Amino acid sequence: MSSPAPSFFRRVFIAFGSFRRVLKDPDFARSVAALARATPVHPAAWPAAPASVPLAEAAPDAALLLLGLLQKEGRLVDFLHEDIQGYSDQEVGSAARVVHQGCRKVIQDYLSIVPVREEPEGSRVTLQPGFDAASVRPTGQVVGDPPFSGALMHRGWRVVETRLPRIAGGHDLRILAPAEVEL
């Protein structure tokens, strides 16, 4: 018996934690990359990728720039590095509100994001043969070949425009936030 899927907010927490660790830990990044290349649980639902397509290294610059902006406006890295186990739910919620407001501002200022699917969550949808497996992930009891019918559990998100700021040559993007020394 499989465990239920994590909630949306738990998935966000997992994503941010994984993002930070992928940037920091090359062995973990290698494991995530291997997992991403692994055979899906339900191969009938996914089109086969050509075996001869070489995998490209992702340039870290844009990711580091975006992470730096999330730190600057929302103190995201500070929040994620903080051990919140000793804080009350009210204290965590108060801090999360500040992080949310700052990070939301960054997303709104630098990215245009739209839902992958327009139907409301909970709607009945049908995935026809040849559906875009990069945009839609069937979950649950996926058996046989499409068409598949089910409930839309999450609309998904797609970036349609990126407006990241230009950076001066020589700017070290690995410095997400400079150390502050009060004199």
Please count the CA atoms within 13 angstroms of the CA of 137 that sit on its side-chain side.
9
Helix (H) or strand (E) holding 179: none
pLDDT at residue number 39: 47
Q: How does pLDDT run across 119-173, given as a tens digit for each residue?
A: 999 999 999 999 999 999 999 888 889 999 999 999 999 999 999 998 888 889 9
Please answer whether residues 158 and 116 qualify as being in contact, where contact means their C-beta atoms are separated by less than 8 angstroms: yes
32, pLDDT greater than 90:
no
For the whole model, what pTM was predicted?
Answer: 0.63
Cβ-proximal residues to 4 (8 Å cutoff; 6+ apart), any chain: none
- CB 22 within 8 Å of CB 32: yes
pLDDT at 27: 76
Residues 51-93 pLDDT 10s: 667 777 777 788 999 999 999 999 999 999 999 999 999 999 9
* Partners of residue 149 on adjacent β-strands: 126
H or E element in which residue 127 lies: strand 124-127
Please report which confidence band the pLDDT of residue 45 belongs to, taking 50, 70 and 90 as the band edges: low
Is the Cβ–Cβ distance between 18 and 32 less than 8 Å? yes
Q: Cα–Cα distance between 133 and 46 in angstroms, integer?
A: 6
Q: What is the mean pLDDT of the chain?
A: 85
